[in-house]
Structure 1
Amino acid sequence: MDMVAGEYASVRKLLLTTMDELSNGERKVARALLAQYPAAGLTTVSDLAASAGVSPPTVVRFVTRLGFGGFPAFQRALVHELNGELGSPLKQYAQKARGSGKGILPETHQAFAAMLETSYQEIPESEFTTLVKMLCDPGRDIRVAGGRFSGLVAEYLVIHLWLLRDGVQLVGSGEIDRRRTIVEAGADTVFLMYDYRRYSEGSLRLAQEMADRGATVCLMTDNWLSPIAKSAKVVLPVRVESASPFDSLVAAMALTESIVAGVAESLGPAGKERLELVEASIEHE
């Protein structure tokens, strides 16, 4: 891994960009680390191995594959990133409340543009492609859920997917709806969860129970990664920092639009035929 003296590359970004090059065991280590980032990497080799369900030598190979001279060097990079990126929320609030003096429109424009650029650079393209392929599979039922705010983005995706294919449902926040979704889940179910920081315990339980039922769990999350990442087959992270003290779903919505575009392109004539049926039904009302 290329480093300048006194500087470290982002370990998170390194993990996301090298995911395709890792062995199955090494990928488990990467998932365990990202699911509890960076705390999982600040313990011991044995602890990280146990969290990932692999042997300690696999963790050592994983660290070497990333380009570090050993586990201590790997941990130093994590500590450097931790100190540089994870400031106090109150401190960030005070900093953002002051602004730069340029005005709200220029500040938010710059923040959102940077967020989108960074997010798209960090998205693992292979995992994006895998998700689109699953969402296009007519043999799979699609279930999508979100949180208090991200549920709006989840609903947006469901509406568009429904226009292109059948077997798509939004999972509501009510207990009965979630119980029914779990009971009806199986090996042919794709469960896509939107979960961003201030992660919900209810969302975590739902994802775990869906996985226990055999569903393929996929995750839309932020760059810190929801704990659901440990049980997810596909993880698509985006940045959420904005010019205000509040997290933004701009990048999450943009990625959702990319998913819709990917599904529409992959379905081709079948998606167009479905859309024609929907449009015809609207005209007859």
Structure 2
Amino acid sequence: MSAGSPREAALAAEGLTVAERTRAGLGDLSAGERKVGRALLALYPMAGLETVAALASRAGVSAPTVVRFVGRLGYDGYPAFQRALMREVQDRMGSPVEQYAEGRDVPEGGAFLPWAADVYTARVRESFHEVPPSEFERALEVLTDPRARVHVVGGRFSHVLSDYLVAHLQWLRPGVRAVPADEFSRVALVGDADEHDVLVVFDFRRHDPSTVQLAELARSAGVRVVLFTDPWLSPVAELAEAVLPTRVESPSPFDSLVPAMALVEAVVTAVTERLAEEGRLRVERLEEVRSQLDPHTPSALAPQEASTGPAGGAETAG
């Protein structure tokens, strides 16, 4: 089917993404075709932009099974399937200026906050539903490996997420560091890295070439990579052992990191449970050190008992 053919145009007009078509049709596919669908969703859309042979190998099926799979989705061949994926990628690479031009029906006054709560809650729920459990489990295995040295890097906005993850993981396990921004520190990181290192990357659309390059060099040194990204996937996805995509759609002209922050919270919770007593003992040990270094600041880990001041009010730290 050539680009712009009536059938391809009709599929595009339906407004469904390839991922949505895949999820909707999984129950009607053969066992082999389901393997292709799951492989595609686990590394979406990157897996679908590979060759037929590469996607077949990823799914553990034959090349004809991949061709049958794209046909079941409604596409007349693999080229049409890939054109649809590329249109999705191009549609989602817009700048904030371009997103200003998109029409928004935003309520005003007292209706705004309930509406915003619904929007962001829906994005979090959708994101958690779409994260493959196997990818989440693999990320936990890597992050709780006691032999691993964990390095975490973020981008222009996503450094907020990377800093937050570092701040929590450092309490729970040793060997966690934020990747410095300066060139020499990054050179040393890659130069000293080996198979005992882990690089956690936060890279969202309008992906950062310097972050991608760092991940490529680290991976070539044997470093394991865990990626937090958007549904259209950073190029780092091709290198990563675990890929954790979250929605970024927002009612503002800027991508939302609310779902990604919620996923980071989920990772911290799961790591805490996985490390169990070992993690608790480390928190207690570090809390004792903290109290010696800064005895005037109450612990951030447990509420302090309020004391009653002269005026009868509860005294708390500011």
* Letter of the 1:251 counterpart: P
Kindly state the Cα deviation for residue 271 of structure 1 after the two structures are TM-superposed: 0.2
Does residue 35 (structure 1) correspond to residue 46 (structure 2)? The answer is yes
For residues 102 and 16 of structure 2, the distance between their equivalents in structure 1, rounded to whole angstroms, comes to 25
Alignment size in residue pairs: 267
Contact persistence 2:225–2:242 (CA under 8 A) = yes
Kindly state the Cα deviation for residue 53 of structure 1 after the two structures are TM-superposed: 9.8
CA 1:98–1:265 in structure 2 vs 1: closer, same or farther (change >3 Å)? Answer: same
Q: Alignment partner of 1:232: what SS?
A: coil
* Letter of the 2:76 counterpart: P
Kindly state the Cα deviation for residue 12 of structure 1 after the two structures are TM-superposed: 2.6
Select the residue among 88, 91, 97 that pairs with 1:86.
91
For residues 16 and 167 of structure 1, the distance between their equivalents in structure 2, rounded to whole angstroms, comes to 39
Match of 1:106 in 2: 114
CA 1:176–1:50 in structure 2 vs 1: closer, same or farther (change >3 Å)? Answer: farther
* Letter of the 2:235 counterpart: P
Ranges in structure 2 where 5+ consecutive residues have no aligned partner: 1-10, 27-33, 294-318
Instruction: State how 1:8-27 maps to structure 2 within 5 Å.
Output: 10-12=17-19, 22=35, 27=39
Greater CA drift, 219-228 or 104-113: 104-113
Q: Alignment partner of 1:284: what SS?
A: helix
Match of 2:150 in 1: 142
Select the residue among 232, 255, 271 that pairs with 1:247.
255
Select the residue among 184, 196, 213 that pairs with 2:192.
184
Match of 2:231 in 1: 223
Match of 2:128 in 1: 120
Ranges in structure 1 where 5+ consecutive residues have no aligned partner: 41-46
Select the residue among 38, 45, 48 that pairs with 2:51.
48
CA 1:137–1:216 in structure 2 vs 1: closer, same or farther (change >3 Å)? Answer: same
The superposition leaves residues 127-169 of structure 1 with CA deviations (integer Å, 9 ceiling, x where unpaired) of 1111111111101111111111111210110111110110111
Match of 2:176 in 1: 168
Match of 2:66 in 1: 62
CA 1:126–1:66 in structure 2 vs 1: closer, same or farther (change >3 Å)? Answer: farther
Determine which structure has greater relative contact order: mean sequence separation of CA pairs < 8 Å that are 6+ residues apart, divided by chain length.
1
Kindly state the Cα deviation for residue 262 of structure 1 after the two structures are TM-superposed: 0.5
For residues 159 and 223 of structure 2, the distance between their equivalents in structure 1, rounded to whole angstroms, comes to 20
Match of 1:44 in 2: none
CA 1:77–1:226 in structure 2 vs 1: closer, same or farther (change >3 Å)? Answer: closer
The superposition leaves residues 40-72 of structure 1 with CA deviations (integer Å, 9 ceiling, x where unpaired) of 3xxxxxx724776969x8444234357727862
The superposition leaves residues 234-273 of structure 1 with CA deviations (integer Å, 9 ceiling, x where unpaired) of 1000001111010111111110000000100000000000
Instruction: State how 1:199-238 maps to structure 2 within 5 Å.
Output: 199-238=207-246
Kindly state the Cα deviation for residue 93 of structure 1 after the two structures are TM-superposed: 1.7
Scaled by the length of structure 1, what TM-score is found? 0.79
Match of 2:292 in 1: 284
Match of 2:300 in 1: none
Kindly state the Cα deviation for residue 79 of structure 1 after the two structures are TM-superposed: 3.1
